[in-house]
A = this chain, B = another copy of it.
Amino acid sequence: MEKEREALQAWKERVAQELDRVVAFWTAHSHDREHGGFLTCLGRDGRVYDDLKYVWLQGRQVWMYCHLYSKFERFRRSELLDAAKAGGEFLLRCARVAPPEQKCAFALTRDGRPVKVQRTIFSECFYALAMDALWRVTGDARYQREATEMMDQVVRWVREDPSGLGRPPLSGTLAAEPMAVPMMLLSLVAQLGDHDEALAGRYAELGDWCAQRILRHVQRDGHAVLENVSEDGRELPGCLGRHQNPGHALEAGWFLLGYASRKGDPALRAHVIEKFLLLPFHSGWDPEHGGLFYFQDVDGLCPTQLEWDMKLWWPHSEAMIAFLMGYRDSGDPALLRLFEQVAEYTFCQFRDPDHGEWFGYLNREGKVALTIKGGPFKGCFHVPRCLAMCEEILGALLSRLARDPGAPRAPPAAPTPRGAE
């Protein structure tokens, strides 16, 4: 037990130090003091190489700063709060393409004019995530109203009528559900309902719906998680149907662990650990060079995506969260060992010893393929979210061990179900 305590303590210190370095990188280089919001196209040393602003990354950084500000004493700094508010105001002012319509841009110029619009829900979801987080740290009800109004619009697009997204209906397009959609909504349900009985109740049915939809992505008699299934939960034909993304399945895994924990459902927890943590890890981990493949084909065929065998930062940060959370919730020491395996690889390969923040893109062998620290799809989110959540979980595990030295071996008591669940 003492050896385990020491291991957890050592990881907590390593993770906390790394979080400090990562946050320092983003606060030093990404704040746009002229227009608000964040510059995320940053080179290895933080230099700005492009000033387009990506709405996903604006919303995510606002959320991240609010989370750090509210959960960590050492990050309760006006610098973070002010930057989060300036980011939120930038989104309020510029994210919508044609206000009062709710559709948001994907990319904006530095001063906030729309450059590109995606015909999906994700810009809007990260907008809602940011607004809810801002409401929690500022108490300004305007932010909460923005969050729930956007959330309700997104839910209408997903469950009632997608026509406002701008995708023309085509007779040959398969009615496919990407797992990202219920995952995104489930994470919003968790965010908006956190410590808020009224909203938790309001979105309880939606949360159940999301969890059920994600679970339907377990296919092939329970032997594989597929990224896309039909709207009635069956495997789709062709590459689209066979497509797998192990890191994404692991991320869905920890979303579902949170859901199972809120529901107090140990059977679901065990199912999630088996299907969304262990399966994708064992199929997705590269036996030759280590690390998680980015994409796979469930039949073992060659994927058509050029980057399929690259090692990306975010599947690894999601895997760290998933295994540590799985260990916390189940007490199974095999999951702690998997956390350590992934975390060792990740710290060794992605961490930049000379500058803050991690590299994002390695080739199969683990060599840095792109030296950028931020770009159109990488901002201040996956790395600090992983480090912050791991620090919090490790802290909770250590407290539990201090209270009851036998605790991590046994599953914790089921928390009380909440809301209308």
Contacts and interface: CB of A to CB of B under 8 A. Distances in A.
A267 interface: no
Given A43-B301, A304-B41, A108 B172 contact: yes
A413 interface: no
Q: Indicate how many identical chains form the complex.
A: 2
A226 to B, nearest CB: 15
Contacts of A303: 370
Interface stretch (A67-75, A254-262, A306-314, A379-387): A306-314
A399 interface: no
A97 interface: yes
Nearest to A98: B168
Interface string A33-75: 0000000010110000111100000000000000000000000
Given A41-B239, A50-B238, A116-B170, 15 more contacts: A43-B302, A49-B301, A50-B239, A51-B238, A52-B239, A113-B171, A113-B172, A114-B173, A115-B170, A115-B172, A116-B173, A117-B170, A303-B370, A304-B370, A304-B372
Interface of A: 41, 43-44, 49-52, 97, 105, 107-109, 112-117, 166, 168, 170-174, 237-239, 301-304, 306-310, 361, 363-364, 369-372, 375-376
16 contacts: A43-B301, A43-B302, A44-B302, A49-B301, A49-B302, A50-B304, A51-B237, A109-B172, A115-B174, A116-B170, A302-B371, A302-B372, A304-B376, A306-B306, A306-B361, A306-B370
